[in-house]
Chain A
């Protein structure tokens, strides 16, 4: 199928770690992304990982990729109230004339003070 799937909602307390999960379908995807969307705004790229990597760390963000299970996760350390937003994972699919960025359903992260 075409779907990239995420859980819809995650609630954490300020200072805790957040882990947002995503499963994708296309094993030939070359890049996988995490985007953040604040209310009423466009999407902001947080980080991306190339498919030959298992892990990428960027300050408070850690991305883990399990290619065998087609599972991607985003860990946010020391979660702050400003991290409250919708988080989208996305995969880039190439094939012939196709070059598409396919998004998951989004996970709403609510950070409780």
Chain B
């Protein structure tokens, strides 16, 4: 089945460590996005990519990094520079001029 998959569903990290969240899609979409969700703040855009080997910062990119080496994959690294990384992270994909974006089921990251 076509879809977008995030893994893992739950992730725990010690303070000061980097961690990478996986996002894979088999929908043949060119564009992919990472959002962060915090209670009462909706979804905020971290990074997005419209094509392989290209990506752009969203509204809250500080402390995060991404790569887009393959069309299907858009991993997000939460670095130790991110001051408040505990959140629910959502990945999405779409065609470049879309009518909708498709979302993964999310990864809940907790820093302990």
A106 vs B92: C-alpha distance in the bound complex, in angstroms? 17
A8 vs B104: C-alpha distance in the bound complex, in angstroms? 23
The closest CB in chain A to the CB of B54 belongs to: A97
Q: Is the pair B99, A2 in contact by a Cβ cutoff of 8 Å?
A: no
A21 vs B106: C-alpha distance in the bound complex, in angstroms? 25
Q: Is the pair B31, A100 in contact by a Cβ cutoff of 8 Å?
A: no
- Output the residue of B40, B43, B48, B105 with the most chain A CB within 10 A: B43
Asked if A43 is an interface residue, CB under 8 A from chain B, the answer is yes
Q: Is the pair A103, B42 in contact by a Cβ cutoff of 8 Å?
A: yes
A88 vs B45: C-alpha distance in the bound complex, in angstroms? 14
Chosen A-B contacts, 15 in total, with CB atoms closer than 8 Å, are: A2-B59, A4-B42, A6-B42, A42-B90, A45-B102, A48-B99, A88-B42, A88-B43, A97-B56, A101-B101, A102-B45, A103-B35, A103-B42, A105-B41, A106-B43
Binding site for A on B (CB under 8 A): 6, 31, 33, 35, 40-45, 48, 50, 56, 58-59, 90, 92, 94, 96-106, 108
